A and B are shown apart, each in its own frame.
Chain A
Amino acid sequence: MVYVDEIDMDEEGIAEMMLDENAIAQVARPGTSLKLPGTSQGGGPSPAVRPVTQSGRPITGFVRPSTQSGRPGTVEQAIKTPRTSLTARPITSASGRYVRLGTASMLTNPDGPFINLSRLNLAKYAQKPKLAKALFEYIFHHENDVKNALDLAALATEHAQFKDWWWKVQIGKCYYRLGLYREAEKQFKSALKQQDMVDTVLYLAKVYLRLDQPVTALNLFKQGLDRFPGEVTLICGIARIYEEMNNISSAAEYYKDVLKQDNTHVEAIACIGSNHFYSDQPEIALRFYRRLLQMGVYNCQLFNNLGLCCFYAQQYDMTLSSFERALFLAENEEETADVWYNLGHVAVGIGDVNLAYQCFKLTLVNNNDYAEAYNNLAVLEMRKGHIEQARALLLTASSLAPHMYEPHFNFAVLSEKVGDLQRSYTAAQKSEEAFPGHVDTQQLLKQLKQHFAML
């Protein structure tokens, strides 16, 4: 009923992100840590081409619950930013969803809980392995009572004289949930010594990623691949880590390896598709997304991406019908907003500025915090010559999404035109922070500094 695979359940709440310090190195070398997005060494597309979610993390093609795109700097910042900007779900203060899962499962039994945990004599059940395993699964996954589960597992593993790898993995899982990462690592390692299992490798890699040691995790995956050649989950794990570290080209290589093994792997197809789209190859991206369509994936996002790929690959007969389908399939207002936003881009592409204006307006009606739409509306207003409106919209955009460089840069250009050099300078500085390699920002800053230095 409510079983969710523990491997993909990886949520960090605000508390875990901010308040616990498991990473050893505070200032790691670039390329060895997940905390500093750093420079993309893989030569992926720049923010001028591929949109970013947080400063420096390009958007990915596939969102997992464990997707962490950047981390907030302080608790205050974490509370201020929109709730879904860092994880795939609205962020919570600590990983409170485990608790909620438990309460949700209670609702399924109208006559109260199935077993009253406090009345169980765990020592007695630990003697009977057949019962103990099922009971542990129930306590851990259904009731989400990690402490009782851990007690039971400890008794059971003692009973099995520490020879059963399964119990070790379960204890490790309990420790991981409780945040005792080093203890969890011990358990998983000893389980691996006993028995090579793919699951155990994945759990151990999760622990290392939590400790912010991506290189260790990569080595572990590669060892796992020696034991299980061609195991898809392991290759996919490697690709995810590379993507987290902004090394897009290596990530794409590994995703291709995944496809060689399993040519229906949705995550790999989506990631490679979006990579191709952003590296000037919409036709190839279109083929990947059509593949997803053939496999029976049928949702708003897919049709939206198909529409975009069709438009940029100049397949005009399929473009608008895909977008219509996407609008029809949208499940909530955010998705509708996304589709309208992209329709606005199509309108700009055919030169129909009024239609584009309406589309971006509709985007904002559906989702009021849509920074990109504010920015693009401001650009359209600027074309009409409405300076004040453009300025207000750009301010809104830059306050909603401080990690995007476009609103800052546009604001800087606008201010420089009317001669307000101070605001132009502060905006240009923010733009440089968001996208250090932007040539036009550099030129603008140089010019402003000349102004300031001149007597």
Chain B
Amino acid sequence: MAEPQAAPVSSLPAATEHPKPHTKKAPELPILERKNWLIYLLYVRRDYDECKAVIKEQLQESHGLCEYAVYVQALIFRLEGKIQESLELFQTCSILNPRSADNLKQVARSLFLLGKHKAAIEVYNEAAKLDEKDWEISHNLGVCYMYLKHFNKARDQLNNALELNRHDLTYMMLGKIHLLEGEMDKAIEIYKKAVEFSPENTDLLTTLGLLYLQLGDYQKAFEHLGNALTYDPGNYKATLAAGSMMQAHGDFDVALSKYRVVASTAPESPPLWNNIGMCFFGKKKYVAAISCLKRANYLAPFDWKILYNLGLVHLTMQQYASAFHFLSAAINFQPKMGELYMLLAVALTNLEDIENAKRSYEQAVALDKCNPLVNLNYAVLLYNQGDKKGALCQYQEMEKKVNAVKERSTLDFDPEMVEVAQKMGAALQVGESLVWTKPSKDSKSKQRAALSGKSYSTQQPLGTNQALGQAMSSAAGYGKTMQLPPGAGASAPLAKPPSLPLEPEPGSEMSPEEPSAPTGAEEQRKEKRKSRQAAD
């Protein structure tokens, strides 16, 4: 910092008597404005203490009528977070100079910072009458309308601001509004324009990358996230998103090295630990995966994705009681998801509760629309229970889904799933109509099939789950990074997908809190009793 102005008070006469080159006497500045240059200099140097001293002196001399001193004092208060005081001072400013749009803008800005959006809009409208061509007024009006949920008005104002003067922030807010209204493609258009306008803004790049990721356009997502990471290698959100993409493609080691970079900067981030856990799961290090996922769950007990992953890993480890526990917890937080019910049913099958497993499958089939695995698992269960007819029914449902998926994309099916499906087909004698591209193996005898079906009903989810698990982990990854709920601290300037409500932060996730402490007190008392007896 600059050294404090050497006694500005004493230097003041010098400053005023500074002989100007022309012979005429320097024009006498009115006493009110005499030291504005100094106030400004100190303020932009962030020498706030000195600045306050000069302002105080100036206000005493001018009996509080120096507009600029009051204005800067208010700015300093705002920087210190004392919005209420700064609002009062800005109001003083606008009384001193009612024709200035700046003062009105600042009053409105203070109101906005206090959360009084309606009042802020009124004052901004006043300011807009004084100054027609100011992008800030339009931009801030847009933001205020956004808080009040008047999205149409907000959009118009922000577009207006963009026409007057283009700024990154305006683009950000506009994109946010589109996302809040659920228009992904429009939001992407906006962000594209924004990135063209300022290609080095990591926030914009990250957000755009995440949007592409949600649409499944990996190529473009990778490009934008990579750019963001080039400009800012330690960017937490971009790293997490990039890592989850690598995970989705099975590069677990690369993803882990990415995560290692951010693990030191954000050691208590649930999404990060969730993704690390799923990396270990992909590398078949199940115990490490469980410990990472459990840490994530301890830090964020309301996050269904972590619970889902925990259930999945426990199914893989064939610990069905724990798997049931985590999956049912996940269902409590996210009741509208087919795969959860399917996995729950798999756990129930292994816990020998066939009735509830059937119910759970029913629920899963009712909720799920595009995952053939659900029907296949259900078919296997029914077949093992001897209900051939129901099994056939589910099998046909599965075929429908498979056909639909094949038409839509060239998704590769998990080979294990295909194999089991063929066996089922053979067992149910419908194998001819199959849609699988792979040549089917020799159909086995029925008993074998039944047996294999039996054995598969236990192992079945394993292989397929890997694909699912990876998909989940990445989904969890970008779902989380996408909107990083306030609990997880980040406040991505993005809409929240409706699937996840506001997730409060894991409050005081305390555990044996005080109770563990009194243990000691208790012991102490015990010892005292003993000693008393001894004394007796």
Contacts and interface: CB of A to CB of B under 8 A. Distances in A.
Same assembly: yes
| Chain B interface size, under 10 / 10 to 19 / 20 to 34 / 35 or more | 35 or more
Interface string B60-81: 0000000000000000001101
Contacts of A61: 516-517, 519-520
A427 B519 CA distance: 33
B115 A342 contact: no
A455 B109 contact: yes
Given A64-B520, A351-B328, A420 B114 contact: yes
Contacts of A2: 532, 535
A46 B489 contact: no
A48 interface: yes
B521 A419 contact: no
A88 interface: yes
Contacts of A302: 519
A342 B508 CA distance: 11
Contacts of B115: 415, 418-423
Contact of A353 (B106, B330, B332, B532): B332
Contacts of A425: 81, 83
B332 A266 contact: no
Contacts of B294: 280, 312
Contact of B331 (A280, A300, A351, A420): A351
B498 to A, nearest CB: 14
Contacts of A416: 486, 491
Nearest to A3: B535
Interface stretch (A119-127, A153-161, A443-451): A443-451
A270 B507 contact: no
A274 B520 CA distance: 12
Interface string A420-455: 111101100100000000111101100111011101
Contacts of B330: 351
A318 interface: no
Given A88-B521, A266-B523, A4 B117 contact: no
A91 B322 CA distance: 45
Given A48-B299, A452-B78, A453-B79, A338 B514 contact: yes
A346 B502 CA distance: 21
A280 B508 contact: no
Contacts, number: 234
B302 A383 contact: yes
B535 A429 contact: no
A7 to B, nearest CB: 12
A144 to B, nearest CB: 15
Contacts of B487: 413, 440
Nearest to B531: A3
B522 interface: yes
B268 A270 contact: no
A445 B453 CA distance: 57
Given A60-B520, A88-B521, A452-B113, A277 B84 contact: no
B390 interface: no
B532 A1 contact: yes
Contact of A338 (B265, B299, B513, B536): B513
Contacts of B526: 297
Given A349-B329, A420-B114, A409 B536 contact: no
B536 to A, nearest CB: 7
B504 A443 contact: no
A335 B491 CA distance: 38
B515 A335 contact: yes
Interface string B289-307: 0010011001101100001
A379 to B, nearest CB: 4
B512 interface: yes
Given A350-B329, A383-B501, A280 B515 contact: no
Nearest to A65: B524
A49 B298 contact: yes
Contacts of A429: 81
A379 B504 contact: yes
B337 interface: no
A224 B89 CA distance: 66
A402 interface: no
B13 interface: no
Interface string A388-428: 00100000000000001011011001011111111101100
A300 B519 CA distance: 8
Contacts of B268: 46, 48-49, 438-439
A426 B81 contact: yes
A330 to B, nearest CB: 10
A67 B520 CA distance: 10
A277 B523 CA distance: 20
A426 B490 CA distance: 18
A351 B486 contact: no
B325 A274 contact: no
Interface stretch (A73-81, A175-183, A370-378): A370-378
B307 A341 contact: no
A301 interface: yes
Given A274-B512, A440-B505, A452-B81, A422 B519 contact: no
Greatest chain A CB density within 10 A among B114, B503, B507 is at: B507
B377 to A, nearest CB: 23
Given A419-B117, A443-B490, A277 B511 contact: yes
B521 A63 contact: yes
A352 B328 CA distance: 10
A44 interface: no
A352 B520 contact: no
29 contacts: A2-B532, A49-B268, A59-B516, A61-B520, A62-B520, A63-B519, A63-B520, A63-B521, A64-B524, A88-B524, A278-B511, A280-B291, A300-B522, A301-B518, A302-B519, A304-B516, A305-B512, A338-B513, A341-B513, A348-B301, A350-B332, A372-B510, A372-B513, A404-B508, A422-B114, A423-B115, A426-B81, A429-B81, A447-B491
Interface of A: 1-5, 8, 46, 48-49, 51, 53, 59-65, 67, 88, 266-267, 270, 274, 277-278, 280, 297, 299-302, 304-305, 308, 312, 314, 316, 326, 334-335, 338-339, 341-342, 345, 348-353, 371-372, 375-376, 378-379, 382-383, 385, 390, 404, 406-407, 409-410, 413, 415-423, 425-426, 429, 438-441, 443-444, 447-449, 451-453, 455
Given A301-B522, A351-B329, 9 more contacts: A5-B531, A51-B511, A51-B513, A62-B517, A308-B511, A326-B515, A351-B330, A418-B147, A422-B82
